[in-house]
């Protein structure tokens, strides 16, 4: 089965669902679409765009991602891009790849880029215009505008070590605990979601749409 993961920045995919990606990659082909360049708002050196994308490819190789698409919209400025423009780029990927399952960042996040990715995915996954059967959003952790209320959990007890190894590829983004981008926090969150779902470690999702033939 083909699965598409759409994120705003390189590292969103690993932070939010790295363990699930590893699990899914055993029997599915996974494509990652990164909407922004991931660096231009944070760094003056344009070389950091390539650094972030190279880290993404290394992390993706660990997790089993098959294909990468970097759309290079301006970092932290997705709310300034016409909605239809982002939708068109995503539709091209969907038409080529024909995914049945779509994952995205969540709308509850304070980060505007994450919100815009969710909005675009909500549009391009509509049943009348796509063959996507499941649409889920994943949890980034940390500060959010509203609480993340999951209704779907994935056991990543066996995959957590791969997630943490993949996260270590993002050397410019990982911070010491208690930062929300620390390895300790991300591992701790997997324990919390595991307690909620009866696993040692888990990742949490919101199932937005599920279509059964």
* Residue-wise pLDDT tens digits, 118-143: 999 999 999 988 899 999 999 998 87
The confidence score (pLDDT) of residue 41 equals: 86
CATH number of 2-153+204-210: 3.40.50.10320
pLDDT reading at 43 higher than 90: no
Whole-number mean pLDDT of the chain? Answer: 95
- HEC string for the chain: CEEEEEECCCCHHHHHHHHHHHHHCCCCEEEEEEEECCCCCCCCCCHHHHHHHHHHHHHHHHHCCCEEEEEEECCCCHHHCCHHHHHHHHHHHHHHHCCCEEEECCCCECCHHHHHHHHHHHHHCCCCCCCCCEEEEECCCCCECCCCCCCEEEECCCCHHHHHHHHCCCCCCCCCCCCCCCHHHHHHHHHHHHHHHCCCCEEEEEEEEECCC
Q: Return the SS3 of 71.
A: strand
pLDDT reading at 7 higher than 80: yes
């Amino acid at each position: 089965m083909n699965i598409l993961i759409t994120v705003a920045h390189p590292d969103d995919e690993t932070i939010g669902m790295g363990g699930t990606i590893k699990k899914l990659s055993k029997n599915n082909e996974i494509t990652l679409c990164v909407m922004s360049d991931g660096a231009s708002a944070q760094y003056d050196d344009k070389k950091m765009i390539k650094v972030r994308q190279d880290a993404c490819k290394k992390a993706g190789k660990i997790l089993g991602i098959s294909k990468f698409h970097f759309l290079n919209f301006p970092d932290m400025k997705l709310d300034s891009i016409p909605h239809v423009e982002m939708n068109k780029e995503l539709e091209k990927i969907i038409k080529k790849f024909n995914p049945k399952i779509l994952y995205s960042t969540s709308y509850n996040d304070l980060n505007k880029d994450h919100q815009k990715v969710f909005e675009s995915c909500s549009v391009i996954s509509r049943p009348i215009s796509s063959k996507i059967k499941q649409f889920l959003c994943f949890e980034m952790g940390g500060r959010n505008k509203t609480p993340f209320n999951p209704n779907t959990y994935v056991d990543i007890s066996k995959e957590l070590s791969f997630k943490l190894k993949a996260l270590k590829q993002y050397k410019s983004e990982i911070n010491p605990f208690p930062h929300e981008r620390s390895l300790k926090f991300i591992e701790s969150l997997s324990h919390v979601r595991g307690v909620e779902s009866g696993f040692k470690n888990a990742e949490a999702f919101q199932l937005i749409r599920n279509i059964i033939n």
